[in-house]
Amino acid sequence: MSMLRSGLREYGRVVVVLSTGVLFLVLGRYESIGRDWADSLVFYGGLPLAAVLLMRRNPLDFGLRIGEWRVWVPYVLVTCAVALPILYGASRIESLSSYYTLSGFDLGHYAPRIIVELAAWEVMFRGYLLFGLSDRFKEGSILVQMVPFVLMHLGKPQLETISTIPMGLYLGWVAYRGNSFWPAAIIHIFINITFRVFANWV
């Protein structure tokens, strides 16, 4: 019992962040309030921030601040530029294009919703999990947050799911270096919207 108490004192925050993080991800899969973007906003954005406040921590310390923008802005620009031809090539792959092609695709309707949805995802993975664990694991938190990020893509095309392994690590690394979840959110949103445009309009 004394060992358990000692372990909880030493790893209490890790236990809380990991346990609640997994709980919120599971709830997001099984409980729905009607829309994907709204589900993500509540379960992946709102609940983690509520947990941070209950821990009496500053939400800005969980990646929500702008951070070292001089560090992360170049990564965002280069990543988006390099991603363009890769995304175009990937949009020609049948297994991917068929999954992301929508009848009557309306960018004006789609973009605001996916921005909210993916921003909430990034609050969870490159915010709550990454920075919630970084005090204990340092750079190791990049690896930890990648695992549930990949698992959340199960059921999507195999190539996409596999690609989330290096992408999850890269987004975590950029966020960690820049001390902010914002670069990961911008890159993730850019990739998603650009691929949708290529798959539906080009």
State the pLDDT at residue 77.
99
Q: Residue holding tokens 């009848």? A: 103
Token pair of 14, please? 């890790």
Q: What are phi and psi of 121, to 5 degrees?
A: -55, -45
Determine the Cα–Cα distance for residues 63 and 80; give it in Å rounded to an integer.
21
- pLDDT the model gives residue 72: 99
pLDDT digits (tens, 9 = 90+) for 75-111: 999 999 999 999 999 999 999 999 999 888 999 999 9
Q: What is the pLDDT of residue 41?
A: 97
pLDDT of the residue at 22 = 97
Neighbours of 139 (CB within 10 A): 11
Q: Give, in order, the Cα–Cα distances in Å from 66 to each of 48, 57, 184.
A: 18, 17, 12
Q: With a cut of 70, list the residues of the chain below it in pLDDT.
A: 1-10
CB atoms within 10 A of CB 183: 28
Distance CA 63, CA 126 (A): 7
DSSP letter (8 states) at residue 156: B
Residue 11's pLDDT is 79
Residue 179: its pLDDT value, please?
98
Q: Residue 136 class from Cβ within 10 Å (0-12 exposed, 13-18 middle, 19+ buried)?
A: middle
Domain-wise residue ranges, the chain: 2-201
pLDDT at position 12: 86
Number of neighbouring beta carbons within 10 Å of residue 103? 5
